[in-house]
């Protein structure tokens, strides 16, 4: 009997410890202050978390903090938050250039650095060394295997995908990706935290493209093939999908927003991962990326950008 009582006590201690992590988690680090990282930091800070925003590039930190301030101003103007909420959100964010400094005392890290496998593996090796073993390490990767990222750490049960959508403060979905070894406890906790951020988490398993990009990217690729084969023009393809399928924007416009280089990289992950020719990127997409026409971020993709109007102007290569 004493043995049973003792065991019970041990279980109680484990249970209380787990529960405390769940309820008390308050400090997070976000790696990368770019498009996604600043949105993720903004969202955690708005919901009361203390956030360390870490980027190797000081210019990214400055641009990221300016974007957060501008987006908070927009929320104030829409009366979604008050001036006091804005001030509290900004006060919750501290910036760092070093991972070792920034992750001190945090309970969760969300990595949102550049989509490059070697870079991410290096960051996770660094995070594994710089944080205590109970810290959960999440990645916002769009396509890199969570199982692969977890394999360079000593805590694969605590590595998970937390795939926010762009723009993060606005978009409701978080795709929660379970790596091969991610534990139930960590998955449940990350689902809970996502709900606390007023998001809707959806749990998926770790296979190429997860769910969002496995379905979205073949649609975008097919739209590019439809253009490439001369079935219809840019405007016609996007109009069919907007008005016929009630999509808020056409697939070619969406590809320009995501970045054609990012679309190409994800299609290559799908193609390599499944070995199925149906995922082969359209040669037109490959050509455009090679020519530096990557969409909004370079000023030209299927449309021309940066002309200062809200009108959609088809890029000169695709004008009829």
Ligand X SMILES: NC(=O)c1ccc[n+]([C@@H]2O[C@H](COP(=O)([O-])OP(=O)(O)OC[C@H]3O[C@@H](n4cnc5c(N)ncnc54)[C@H](O)[C@@H]3O)[C@@H](O)[C@H]2O)c1
Could you give the residue numbers annotated as active site? 142, 163, 175, 213
Instruction: Please tell me whether residue 36 binds ligand X under the rule CB under 6 A.
Output: yes
Nearer to ligand X, 55 or 206 (CB): 55
Nearest-CB residue to ligand X? 34
Within 13 Å, how many C-alpha atoms sit on residue 50's CB side? 10
- What strands lie across the sheet with 173-178, from one edge to the other? 93-96, 50-54, 27-31, 108-111, 136-139, 159-164, 173-178, 200-205
SS3 54: strand
Residues in contact with ligand X, total (CB under 6 A)?
24
Contact with ligand X (CB under 6 A) among 28, 29, 30, 31: 31
CB of 8 to ligand X, least distance (A): 44
SS3 311: coil
Contact with ligand X (CB under 6 A) among 9, 57, 66, 129: 57
**Maximum distance among all alpha carbons in the chain?**
85
Contacts of 294 (CB under 8 A, 6+ apart): 259, 260, 261, 288, 301
Segment near ligand X (CB under 6 A), from 79-87, 109-117, 272-280, 304-312? 109-117
Q: Scan residues 58-97 and list those touching ligand X (CB under 6 A).
A: 60
CB of 11 to ligand X, least distance (A): 38
CA distance 105 to 131: 8
Instruction: Please tell me whether residue 33 binds ligand X under the rule CB under 6 A.
Output: yes
CB of 92 to ligand X, least distance (A): 20
Cα dist from 260 to 38, 78, 81, 257, 291, whole Å: 21, 32, 34, 8, 11
Helix or strand run (H / E) with residue 63: helix 58-77
Instruction: Please tell me whether residue 166 binds ligand X under the rule CB under 6 A.
Output: yes
CA distance 216 to 200: 19
Contact with ligand X (CB under 6 A) among 51, 53, 108, 113: 113
Segment near ligand X (CB under 6 A), from 84-92, 138-146, 193-201, 280-288? 138-146
CB of 16 to ligand X, least distance (A): 35
Instruction: Please tell me whether residue 106 binds ligand X under the rule CB under 6 A.
Output: no
Segment near ligand X (CB under 6 A), from 114-122, 180-188, 232-240, 272-280? 114-122
- 8 A C-beta contact, residue 146 and residue 273: no
Instruction: Please tell me whether residue 123 binds ligand X under the rule CB under 6 A.
Output: yes
CB of 167 to ligand X, least distance (A): 9
Instruction: Please tell me whether residue 167 binds ligand X under the rule CB under 6 A.
Output: no
Angle at 210 between CA 207 and CA 216, to 5 degrees: 130
CB of 6 to ligand X, least distance (A): 46
β-bridge mates for residue 200, sequence order: 173
Binding site for ligand X (CB under 6 A): 31-37, 54-57, 60, 112-115, 119, 123, 140-142, 163, 166, 258
């Amino acid at each position: 009997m004493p043995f049973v009582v003792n065991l019970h006590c041990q279980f109680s201690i484990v249970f209380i410890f787990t529960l405390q992590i769940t309820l008390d988690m308050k400090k997070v680090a976000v790696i990368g202050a770019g498009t996604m990282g600043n949105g993720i930091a903004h969202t955690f800070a708005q919901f009361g978390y203390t956030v360390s925003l870490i980027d190797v590039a000081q210019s990214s930190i400055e641009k990221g903090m300016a974007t957060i301030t501008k987006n908070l101003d927009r929320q104030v103007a829409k009366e979604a938050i008050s001036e006091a909420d804005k001030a509290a959100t900004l006060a919750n964010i501290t910036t760092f250039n070093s991972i070792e400094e920034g992750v001190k005392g945090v309970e969760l890290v969300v990595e949102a650095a550049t989509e490059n496998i070697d870079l991410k593996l290096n960051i996770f090796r660094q995070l594994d060394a710089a944080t205590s073993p109970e810290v959960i390490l999440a990645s916002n990767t769009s396509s890199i295997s969570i199982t692969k990222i977890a394999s360079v750490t000593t805590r694969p049960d605590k590595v998970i995908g937390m795939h926010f959508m762009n723009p993060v403060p606005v978009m409701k979905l978080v795709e929660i990706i379970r790596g091969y070894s991610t534990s139930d406890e960590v998955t449940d906790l990350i689902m809970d935290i996502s709900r606390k951020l007023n998001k809707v988490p959806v749990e998926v398993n770790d296979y190429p493209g997860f769910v969002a990009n496995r379905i979205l990217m073949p649609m975008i690729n097919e739209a590019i093939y439809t253009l490439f084969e001369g079935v219809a023009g840019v405007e016609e393809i996007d109009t069919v999908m907007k008005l016929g399928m009630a999509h808020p924007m056409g697939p070619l416009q969406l590809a320009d927003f995501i970045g054609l280089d990012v679309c190409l990289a994800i299609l290559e992950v799908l193609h390599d991962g499944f070995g199925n020719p149906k995922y082969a990127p359209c040669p037109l997409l490959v050509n455009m990326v090679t020519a530096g026409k990557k969409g909004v971020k370079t000023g030209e993709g299927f449309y021309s950008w940066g002309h200062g109007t809200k009108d959609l102007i088809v890029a000169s290569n695709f004008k009829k």
